[in-house]
Amino acid sequence: MSLALEVSAEIVLVDDRPARRLALNLGIPVAGTAGVLLRAKQIGFIPEVRPLLDEIIRRGFRLSPAVRARVLADAGETA
């Protein structure tokens, strides 16, 4: 966070909840892994979020069911 503040970062990539909270309290916008996957689909870099999201969850990435559902809905991949 110190570096992000020092270089006036536009955004930090962080998934850890306490670190996200700290960044937001410091006024630093955050993005997480799920958000990066969503953005990658939005700009056409990947065709679907669901297979990649499911794979990282299968490998131990923790994501609440509510956040997973919201990301898939935002990606237009519901159902």
Q: pLDDT at position 38, please?
A: 95
Structure tokens that stand for 4 in this block: 């992000």
pLDDT at 34: 94
**49 and 14 housed in the same domain:** no
- Structure-derived torsion over alpha carbons of residues 45, 48, 53, 58, reported in degrees to the nearest 10: -120
Decide: residue 17, CB within 10 A, 0-12 exposed, 13-18 middle, 19+ buried.
exposed
pLDDT tens by residue, the chain, 79 residues: 999 999 999 999 999 999 999 999 999 999 999 999 999 999 999 999 999 999 999 999 999 999 999 999 999 998 5
Residues 52 and 25 in one domain: no
- What is the per-residue pLDDT for 78? 82
Contacts of 21 (CB under 8 A, 6+ apart): none
Residue 12 phi, psi (nearest 5): -120, 145
Same domain, 37 and 20: no
Q: Which domain holds residue 70?
A: 33-79
* Lookup: tokens for 11: 């955004």
